[in-house]
Structure 1
Amino acid sequence: MDRDCFIRKNSEYQKVYRAKKISSCRYITLFTKKNNLNIARAGFTTTKKIGNACKRNFVRRRFKAIYRDLYPLIYKGYDYVFVAKKEAVDCDFTDFKKDFLNVLKRQRKVKN
């Protein structure tokens, strides 16, 4: 997985938010948009509601680790923006991973 698999620019995030395909679970909210590429791109957002920079980076590292692990199962051709909720800091890794998978299943963006 290389740098092309991640959303970097603010304008790209805004396009995904405007598409308004939203799913939500306990710890994560997912926004999706078709990107007409043969790769899946992801962006990870943690707001200041979560806590200080240390906690936000902790959650972002979790997002990236799970995304790398599940990348072969995720449908290509979409942009995904994962937004962490406040409860994401205190949950354990297995619950967070289950929630990550569930939010993708709600939009039917993961292979079984």
Structure 2
Amino acid sequence: MSESLKNSQQFGNVYKNGKSFANKYLVMYVCKNELSINRLGISVSKKVGNSVVRHRISRLIRESYRLNDSISNSGLDIVIVARAGSKGKNYSEISSALMHLAKLHKIISSSEPDRN
């Protein structure tokens, strides 16, 4: 089960107090929350592309997270920031980048198979 981060105060809290790892396509910030569920926030700036491109990247990230949500730890606020390099990438590239960052944050076990 997962919700989304709603306002800039929640995003700011994760940016300020969370730990971050990055790769070529994404940056992931993770911070503990006081809830029993994860909350996901996705940020795709205008540097990535026009609104169609930004929304597509956002959907790919959300879908990749949704399909792998059951194997994540709970009680976390997660913000995923798309980098300009993510423009034009397909689902499998975005998903593998997301899983790579999740393994670095130790919110997913590296022995779990990647479900592309």
Fold conserved between structures, TM > 0.5 = yes
Give the counterpart letter for 2:84 in structure 1.
K
Say what the alpha-carbon RMSD is for the aligned residues. 1.2
Give the counterpart letter for 1:24 in structure 2.
A
Residue 48 (structure 2) aligned to one of 47, 50, 72? 50
Q: Which runs of 5+ in 1 are unaligned?
A: none
Q: SS of 2:81's equivalent?
A: strand
CA distance in 2, matches of 1:32, 1:72: 17
Identity among equivalent positions (%) equals 23
TM-score by length of 1: 0.92
Give the counterpart letter for 2:35 in structure 1.
L
1:72 equivalent in structure 2? 70
TM-score by length of 2: 0.89
Within 5 Å, give how 1:15-54 maps onto structure 2: 15-54=13-52
Give the counterpart letter for 1:94 in structure 2.
S
CA positional deviation for 1:45: 0.3
CA distance in 2, matches of 1:87, 1:107: 21
1:81 equivalent in structure 2? 79
- The number of residues matched between the two structures is 110
Higher normalized helix content (fraction of residues): 1
CA positional deviation for 1:22: 0.6
